[in-house]
Amino acid sequence: MKTCFPDIPDKILFEGPTSKNPLAFKYYNPSQIVGQKIMAEHLRFSVAYWHTFKGTGMDPFGAATFRRPWNMGKTPMEQAENTLQAAFEFVQKLGVPFYCFHDRDLAPEGETFSESCQNLETMVAKAKKLQEETGIKLLWGTANLFSHPRYAHGAATNPDAHVFAYATAQVKHAITATRELGGSNYVFWGGREGYETLLNTDMKREQEQMARFFHMAVDYAKQIGFDGQFLIEPKPKEPTKHQYDFDAATVLDFLRAYDLWDYFKLNIEANHATLAGHSFEHDLTVASLNGKLGSIDANVGDPLLGWDTDQFPTDPVMCAKAMLVVLKQGGIGKGGFNFDAKLRRGSFDENDLFYAHISGMDTFARGLTAAHQIIEDGVLDHFIEKRYASYGEGIGKQIISGRESFDSLEKWILKKGEPAFKSGRQEMLENIVSSYV
């Protein structure tokens, strides 16, 4: 088999922080123990098929700049096979345990629905063989319900029942494929489940349709014995102006309202959180404190550009804040850290794919060790505990016990007067966190 990455050694190795080799890890040392687990088990990294192998560098102003040899086959299926080979070579050399795909990344859409299903089955069989040979696993599968023109007005929320039916049939096969490949999770990202204008949209009806679609997916998973975790990935906008899965809080409310709470967790993407006007750690925290943080799409947006730029993470402080949330909930469980991130249009060499992933993995490794040490030293926990200490005694304890009321507290205030001023010490804490990375 011809290699697609001839300049890259068989395995990217850990050489430590003093190494000057751009094709080596400086901080990601898979076997290093951090707390109770090794780094590889904490971070469960995954490569995203769509950006890394199918991305072209195309943007609204210009043509593709990535000329990948594996995307050059004579027929779409030949290209799919070449891509699969390249993907497994890449993931193996990088030393990452997982990958993720959309059905249409792995296998091309056919002339008919049956042909599309046939293409997917063929490619799933080949992927299964490569998984067995290499030990690489599927973190999650998903369906692309946003690229084809039939989904221009949404999939599950489409005003046309015919399109709704098409989407369910497609997802049926994507879940089957994920089960066949032993996927740990299955992701629902509502690509075009939103609207452009309320002048032509019945929002209530569309949200009910979305819930119906999710219930059908839950029933189908039970029917075929798929035991992976279902995940919904929030995103506020892009491609539609307003998407229904706006952010973690919105999705959690939706799950509660439509009786779906027990069946879904969330896949939180950094760039989607910031698009919603939140920090990455905000949406992670909202998901986690509800017991719903299932997996992470590890990327970052550009603060100077207001859209979903899907860049590789390079800020260890951001990663430390994220890892604090993950470590406090006892780990990411069945989920992982999927690099849903792409190269800039000008970084068109195949080797750039390695530099980018190495950088992302090193950055998260720094975040992990910093977060672990911050928790071990109790620096933030101790501060936060003290900040809320007034609820552990006196009137605070009384409030918690439920024995106080507006009237009784008014009497207390009439006696006690103004509270003392206490600093939140934000700058001091920010400096403490950066001193750990």
| Spatial CA neighbour of 366 closest among 20, 25, 22, 12 | 25
Residue 269 binds to Ca ion (criterion: CB under 5 A): yes
Choice from 105, 297, 350, 362 touching ligand XLS (CB under 6 A): 297
Tell me the H-state helices in 110-160: 113-134
Q: Which does 170 bind (CB under 5 to 8 A by kind): ligand XLS, Ca ion, none?
A: none
Q: Which does 105 bind (CB under 5 to 8 A by kind): ligand XLS, Ca ion, none?
A: none
Q: Which does 187 bind (CB under 5 to 8 A by kind): Ca ion, ligand XLS, none?
A: ligand XLS
Which residues 6+ apart lie within 8 Å of 420 measured at CB?
Answer: none
Residue 269 binds to ligand XLS (criterion: CB under 6 A): yes
List C-alpha distances in Å: 60 to 63, 190, 263, 345.
8, 22, 38, 12
Cα gap 265→289, rounded to integer Å: 12
In the complex with ligand XLS, the residue whose CB is nearer, 93 or 235, is 235
In the complex with Ca ion, the residue whose CB is nearer, 117 or 139, is 139
| Options 103, 105, 310, 340, the catalytic residue | 105
Residue 340 binds to Ca ion (criterion: CB under 5 A): yes
Beta bridge partners of 264: 230
Residue 233 binds to ligand XLS (criterion: CB under 6 A): yes
Residue 26 binds to ligand XLS (criterion: CB under 6 A): no
Residue 372 annotated to the active site: no
Residue 310 binds to Ca ion (criterion: CB under 5 A): yes
| Spatial CA neighbour of 67 closest among 78, 59, 76, 56 | 56
Q: Which does 89 bind (CB under 5 to 8 A by kind): Ca ion, ligand XLS, none?
A: none
Q: Is 123 exposed, middle or buried (0-12, 13-18, 19+ CB in 10 A)?
A: buried
In the complex with Ca ion, the residue whose CB is nearer, 250 or 398, is 250
| Spatial CA neighbour of 329 closest among 42, 97, 45, 99 | 42
Length of the chain, please? 437
Note the residues at the interface with Ca ion (CB under 5 A).
269, 271, 297, 308, 310, 340
Can you give the binding site for ligand XLS, defined by CB under 6 A? 102, 142, 187, 189, 233, 235, 269, 297, 308, 340
Q: State the catalytic residues.
A: 102, 105
